[in-house]
């Protein structure tokens, strides 16, 4: 589902950071209702710890910077290159998990991750050549997305998924507000743009990120990040199905490799 996000961004008339801001802002009412429904049988209060607060603000900030920087990278490189760079996030999840959080990850998973990244490369590399600065921004965005995934995983150990995503999205919205204002100079949008971004918020931030948060709460962070490599494969499919973009045999092979790697990592 997250792979369809690019369709909304592609047809939106707003600036990249403003799109990200309204995605998180408009999702808050939907996430609040989900949070209230999820805790309908549980009225216990949250016992905030320093660790929870750290990962709450870290997760919100990382997600805001991930969306803003990745959208910005599209101005300096091709969509294909930006997508490839952004999908190096699982590498940073593994590195940060091992070095900072003491995760124990098997060598077999590392090899499976390399296989998946090769598949992703085949899916997106047929795009145009990019520029070093734009590609670098894509990698920086991937680093922040890795921080977001690790933060979400740690928070879901203490909070339910809906509450986790709601509070993190609040922080994300607050962080994106000044970035959007500096970039766009004006936060006003047209009525048609309002409905488009409302749909984007419901589809991508509420449903897609809601499912991702629920999934991360049940499996490891590094496995979650590998499974999310399905996103560029889905995006390529949507481009073919909805926008009449041509899929080459190399891209089809790459998609098959990604699916095989995900199966290898999750078959247990």
Q: What is the mean pLDDT of the chain?
A: 84
Read off the pLDDT of residues 33-71 as tens digits, 9 standing for 90 and up.
Answer: 999 998 887 766 777 889 899 999 999 999 999 988 887
DSSP codes of every residue in 59-107: HHHHHHHHHHHHHHHTTTS-HHHHHHHHTTHHHHHHHHHHHTS-----H
pLDDT of 130 higher than 60:
no
pLDDT of residue 129: 56
Domain ranges for the chain: 2-36+46-266
Going along the chain, which residue ranges are E strands?
Answer: none
Read off the pLDDT of residues 178-200 as tens digits, 9 standing for 90 and up.
Answer: 988 888 788 888 899 999 999 99
Of 32, 67, 12, 86, nearest in space to 180 by CA: 67
pLDDT of residue 15: 84
Range with lowest mean pLDDT among 134-143, 146-155, 210-219: 134-143
The model's pTM = 0.83
pLDDT of residue 263: 84
């Amino acid at each position: 589902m997250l792979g369809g996000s690019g369709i909304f961004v592609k047809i939106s008339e707003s600036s990249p950071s403003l799109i990200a801001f309204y995605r998180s802002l408009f999702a808050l009412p939907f996430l609040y209702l989900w949070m209230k429904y999820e805790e309908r049988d549980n009225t216990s209060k949250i016992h905030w710890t320093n660790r929870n607060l750290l990962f709450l603000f870290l997760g919100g900030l990382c997600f805001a910077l991930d969306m803003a920087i990745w959208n910005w990278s599209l101005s300096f490189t091709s969509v294909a290159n930006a997508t490839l760079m952004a999908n190096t996030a699982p590498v940073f999840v593994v590195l940060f998990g091992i070095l900072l959080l003491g995760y124990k990850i098997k060598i077999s998973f590392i090899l499976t991750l390399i296989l998946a990244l090769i598949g992703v490369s085949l899916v997106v590399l047929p795009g145009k050549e990019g520029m070093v600065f734009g590609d670098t921004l894509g990698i920086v965005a991937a680093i922040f997305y890795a921080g977001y995934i690790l933060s979400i995983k740690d928070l879901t150990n203490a909070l339910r998924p809906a509450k986790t995503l709601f509070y993190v999205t609040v922080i994300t919205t607050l962080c994106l507000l000044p970035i959007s204002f500096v970039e766009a100079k004006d936060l006003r949008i047209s009525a048609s743009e309002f409905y488009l971004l409302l749909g984007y918020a419901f589809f991508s931030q509420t449903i897609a990120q809601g499912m991702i948060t629920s999934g991360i709460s049940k499996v490891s962070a590094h496995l979650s990040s590998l499974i999310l490599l399905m996103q560029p494969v889905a995006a390529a499919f949507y481009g073919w199905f909805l926008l009449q973009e041509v899929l080459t045999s190399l891209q089809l092979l790459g998609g098959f490799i990604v699916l095989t790697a995900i199966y290898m990592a999750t078959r247990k």
